[in-house]
Amino acid sequence: MNAINKRVLVQGIVQGVGFRPTVYSYAQKLGLTGWILNSAHGVEIEVHGELAQVDAFLHELRTKPPQMAQIDTFLVSDVATNPYGSFQILASQDNPHDFLPVSPDLDVCPDCLRELFDPANRRHRYPFINCTNCGPRFSIVKSIPYDRPNTSMSAFPLCPDCAKEYHDPADRRFHAQPIACPVCGPQVWLQSTEEKFATGEDAIQLTRQMLTDGKILALKGLGGFHLACDAQNEHAVTELRLRKRRSMKPFALMSNGLETIRNFAQVSAEEEKMLLSIQKPIVVLNLTEAGKKLADIVAPDQNTLGFMLPYTPLHYLLLEKEINYPEVLVMTSGNLSEEPIVTENEEALEKLQGIADAFLMHNRPIETRIDDSVLTTVANKPYFIRRARSFAPSPIRLPFFTTQALAAGTHLKNTFALSRENYAFLSHHIGDLENEETLTAYTKAINHYQQIFRIQPKLFAADLHPDYLATRYAMERAEKEQLPIMHIQHHHAHISSCLADNGWKNDDLVIGLAFDGTGYGSDGAIWGGEVLLANYSGFERRFQLDYAPLPGGDVSIRKPARLALAYLHHLGLLDQAEGLAPYLYLNEIERQVLIHQVETGFNTPQTSSMGRLFDAVAALIGLYQEINYEAQNAISLEAIADPDEIAAYELPIQGSRILLKPLFEQILADLRQNLPQSAISARFHNAINHLALKVSDQLRTETGVNTVAISGGVWQNRRLINNIIPALQKAGFTPLWHHQVPTNDGGVALGQLMTALFQTGMLKE
């Protein structure tokens, strides 16, 4: 007999993902004794047995961990031989100074899905079925440690059958905190604002019938309410738009299966992987001919649609395939425009009463409001548009050890970021910090993250803009807590974010292509078309789009007709505007006021924004003169661009300024020649790509820097990003782009955090 003892420490996302039952079954199978426990360090294991068996155990655990686990560290050490009578699961240990990553919410696992549709199973058609491998996590966590009393399941005592599963180490539901069954768990019901129509299975069937009949339903989901209707029922979708006062913005869709999605959209292997992944995000897909017809209804002017597959048992039941029932549902956030998604039943009845015909409710409270995540692919890899459900709060691993800090994020598409050890916790998408409701959600979320990850910031980072609500929040806290605060320029933060996203390990310089909508510049102007020479610590602005006027600020962002004319006037080209769309859109008086404003500079900031250039060009060639959602003109401009057009406009550079006049002259000439919009758009897109390559080349010649970091909202444009990566690679550059956080403002907080830590020397290693 040659018995040995080994101690194993496993770190990462290892709790609440079925680690203990898996380890228990491996140990039983190999006849090992010892113990496992959840501690604040992760999972700690000690095994005792024959050398060969212990080795087999370690091999099995390394190669076949529970499928939801995300292992960062796997440390094995020798300990004194200490035989045990059996293998046991010991009570959790909690050290109040340590932290544990909390698992994000997960889709239904295959085992639970089978049981859901198995008439012999006691959870047959039960909409809250889950196990240690699947189901709600982050959205129901109130506090740590992750145990049932600290979740919103605390109100549902386990029935004897569920309790037996919960306490059986060999069971798939051993210590699965959210487990429930029809006897003891949450229930669904369907109601109007006045009366309850049905409960349980009847409620689900009646909901299906109402959706089939073209009604609009408010559905309580995992992270909040959705508003749903049959996506192929034009009348229902139009009605939803009217009631939600959302005239053009595309709706997200949920379909009953991958095959159905394929009818409407092209699905690449990588996109299929994302659609079917355990995170079940919304994936933005190119359309087929049938898809274009669907888009006319749900996403006007788009050549893409955002599809997702069901991700809760309730979704699977609602979208069960059956003839004459909807196969694709609109699933849009249940909110009033601009406000956070509704999570509470009472709130839903109050806020969505004019929108929804009925409410499919349940009584499992949502602790953290969380939207669906949105992804696309770039260079055959996932590329985030919105990082939320099923991704947050998974931390981003940093190549450094950090002091605990909070980066407040920015104004639009806000997320915040907290650092601890070698992790950055980038929050889920919070939204535009423009109203009281979103600000409340923001501060609540910060408190929640600080509490569950045990982070007490010693440093704050915020945007340069003094009036952003996020900046003010950080400034108030810094003052109250007497801690340092660093203000980080928006586009520098974008580039830092891209570096951290790529695990950039040093403070070497890179070329930064920050092409974006709006960010407050160091000179008080509105930046957004910036070419930086930057590292985490600092930046130099080496090239910029030449300044142009933004008369009335936001007014011109909403009315790109004003932008187009203001640019033309500023460039001395207004005499050529007569008869063009923006000219015709504004009346004589509006035009005169606008020109006066540009000339006097009254309430007219200067901007180098790339996003505004897209808006102005789109308006000039006759797309929208007034928009009703952010980036509408840029998205439309991208959608119409002729994929085969290779000509490009010139964007000459003078010193550090990228000149706009020649660009507008060429566009005006092409308009006079009646060149189609699709060709003009393509030539404009090509011009931006040529520009990106040219400035990178010039900077490389001057500095020898060969790495190009690509960040900013404009890079959501798939034509631009998909062209620039191979173009840079072909020219011998190393391009870095985003993989784990959005390229838009949803990723800025990560960059703020890194730059503030670097600038204050608060990195540990």
> In the complex, which residues of this chain contact Zn ion (CB under 5 A)?
109, 112, 131, 133-134, 159, 162, 181, 183-184
Min CB(684)–Zn ion separation in Å? 49
* 3 state SS for 595-615: HHHHHHCCCCCEECCHHHHHH
- CB closer to Zn ion out of 159 and 668: 159
Min CB(389)–Zn ion separation in Å? 17
- CB closer to Zn ion out of 106 and 641: 106
Going by the DSSP 8-state scheme, the letter that residue 429 receives in this structure is P
Pairing of strands 460-463, 417-426: unpaired
- DSSP states of 61-83 as a string? HHHS--TT-EEEEEEEEE-----
Burial track 304-328 (b if 16+ CB lie within 10 A, e otherwise):
bbbbbbbbbbbbbbbbbeeeeebbb
- CB closer to Zn ion out of 133 and 415: 133
- CB closer to Zn ion out of 135 and 742: 135
- CB closer to Zn ion out of 17 and 162: 162
SS3 206: helix
- CB closer to Zn ion out of 134 and 355: 134
Strand partners, 75: 9
> Containing H/E element for 740?
none
Pairing of strands 526-534, 539-545: antiparallel
Q: How many CA atoms lie within 13 A of 192 on its CB side?
A: 7
Min CB(143)–Zn ion separation in Å? 23
Please choose, from the candidates 711, 699, 704, the residue with its C-alpha nearest in 3D space to the C-alpha of residue 739.
711
- CB closer to Zn ion out of 200 and 662: 200
What does each C-alpha distance from 374 to 77, 226, 307, 327, 456 come to in angstroms?
42, 15, 9, 21, 30
Min CB(156)–Zn ion separation in Å? 8
Q: At residue 28, what is the residue type?
A: Q
Min CB(121)–Zn ion separation in Å? 12
Min CB(111)–Zn ion separation in Å? 5
Instruction: Answer yes or no: are the C-beta atoms of 371 and 429 closer than 8 Å.
Output: yes
- CB closer to Zn ion out of 161 and 481: 161
- CB closer to Zn ion out of 136 and 552: 136
What does each C-alpha distance from 70 to 14, 16, 177 come to in angstroms?
7, 11, 19
Per the listing, tokens 């292509």 go with 513
Min CB(162)–Zn ion separation in Å? 3
Instruction: Answer yes or no: are the C-beta atoms of 376 and 93 closer than 8 Å.
Output: no
- CB closer to Zn ion out of 30 and 131: 131
Min CB(175)–Zn ion separation in Å? 14
- CB closer to Zn ion out of 102 and 116: 116
Min CB(158)–Zn ion separation in Å? 6
Nearest-angstrom CA–CA distance, 311 and 297: 24
Strand partners, 360: 190, 219
- 735 CB neighbour count, 10 Å cutoff: 23
- CB closer to Zn ion out of 120 and 589: 120
Min CB(131)–Zn ion separation in Å? 3
SS3 553: coil
Instruction: Answer yes or no: are the C-beta atoms of 666 and 573 closer than 8 Å.
Output: no
Min CB(133)–Zn ion separation in Å? 5
- CB closer to Zn ion out of 164 and 196: 164
Nearest-angstrom CA–CA distance, 511 and 490: 16
And the tokens for 586? 């504004």
Instruction: Answer yes or no: are the C-beta atoms of 22 and 53 closer than 8 Å.
Output: no
SS3 11: strand
Min CB(151)–Zn ion separation in Å? 16
- CB closer to Zn ion out of 21 and 340: 21
CA angle (255, 67, 77) in 5-degree steps: 160
Min CB(114)–Zn ion separation in Å? 9
Exposed/middle/buried for 727, CB within 10 Å: 0-12, 13-18, 19+? middle
Strand partners, 196: 191
- CB closer to Zn ion out of 133 and 740: 133
Min CB(180)–Zn ion separation in Å? 6
Q: How many residues does the chain have?
A: 765
Q: How many CA atoms lie within 13 A of 454 on its CB side?
A: 14
And the tokens for 284? 């933005």
CA angle (391, 445, 279) in 5-degree steps: 15
Min CB(430)–Zn ion separation in Å? 29
